[in-house]
């Protein structure tokens, strides 16, 4: 874990990064690292952001851990211009993207809720190519911070 600088003025972007093994028992570590930081900024609204981040990381453990070269989850958080941006590295292969969608909530059954939570909580959900020729994609989640003029930048989820 490596918290990046925090002593710049509030208007400067702040970056935080956590890398943990892609195992379920380390999801708690990610939550424990980011919860206090987000609570400081967002108060009680932080709980849902932590949930969205946790669901995204759970998907890496569930679906990607067996295929990852390093068997690690890389999470980077940027706080800038009234927005919180989560970037989960090597989230999936580009060919997996059409299969990643929330399930119909009318079908009440176990499973498939995590993607729905992510899309409901975040303003933007998108994939970005990772450097290199392997077709790997990062998942990027964005949310405006209330009271900082970020609400106008909110866009419909578009995973």
Partner 1 sequence: MPLKLQVLDTSHGRCLSVGGEVDMDSSPELRREMLKQLKGHSGLVIDLSGVGYIDSSGIAVLIEGHNEAHRGGGKLTLLRPSEAVTSVIDLAHLREFFSIQADEAS
Binding site for partner 1 (CB under 8 A): 24-25, 27-28, 31, 47-48, 50-51, 54-55, 58, 61-62, 105, 108-111, 113-114, 116-117, 120-121
Residue 32 is inside which H or E element, if any?
helix 27-42
Query: Between 31 and 76, whose beta carbon lies closer to partner 1?
Result: 31
Query: Between 72 and 81, whose beta carbon lies closer to partner 1?
Result: 72
Q: How far is the CB of 112 from partner 1 (least distance, A)?
A: 8
Distance of CA 52 to the CA centre of its chain: 6
Distance of CA 94 to the CA centre of its chain: 17
Q: How, if at all, do strands 83-93 and 72-80 pair?
A: antiparallel
Q: How far is the CB of 113 from partner 1 (least distance, A)?
A: 4
Q: How far is the CB of 86 from partner 1 (least distance, A)?
A: 15
Q: Which long-range contacts (CB under 8 A, 24 or more apart) does 146-149 make?
A: 146/42, 146/45, 148/82, 149/82
> What 3-state class would DSSP assign to 117?
helix
Q: How far is the CB of 12 from partner 1 (least distance, A)?
A: 31
Query: Between 15 and 117, whose beta carbon lies closer to partner 1?
Result: 117
Query: Between 78 and 119, whose beta carbon lies closer to partner 1?
Result: 119
């Amino acid at each position: 874990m490596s918290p990046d600088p925090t002593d710049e003025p509030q208007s400067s972007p702040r970056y935080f990064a956590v890398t943990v093994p892609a195992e379920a028992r380390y999801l708690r570590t990610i939550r424990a690292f980011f919860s206090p930081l987000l609570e400081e900024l967002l108060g009680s609204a932080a709980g849902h952001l932590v949930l969205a981040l946790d669901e995204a990381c759970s998907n890496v453990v569930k679906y990607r851990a067996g295929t990852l070269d390093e068997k690690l989850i890389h999470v980077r958080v940027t706080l800038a211009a009234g927005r919180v941006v989560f970037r989960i590295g090597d989230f999936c292969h580009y060919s997996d993207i059409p299969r990643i969608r929330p399930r119909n909530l009318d079908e009440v059954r176990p499973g498939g809720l995590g993607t729905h939570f992510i899309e409901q909580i975040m303003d933007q959900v998108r994939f970005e190519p990772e450097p290199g020729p392997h077709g790997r994609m990062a998942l990027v989640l964005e949310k405006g911070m209330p009271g900082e003029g970020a609400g106008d930048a909110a866009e419909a989820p578009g995973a």
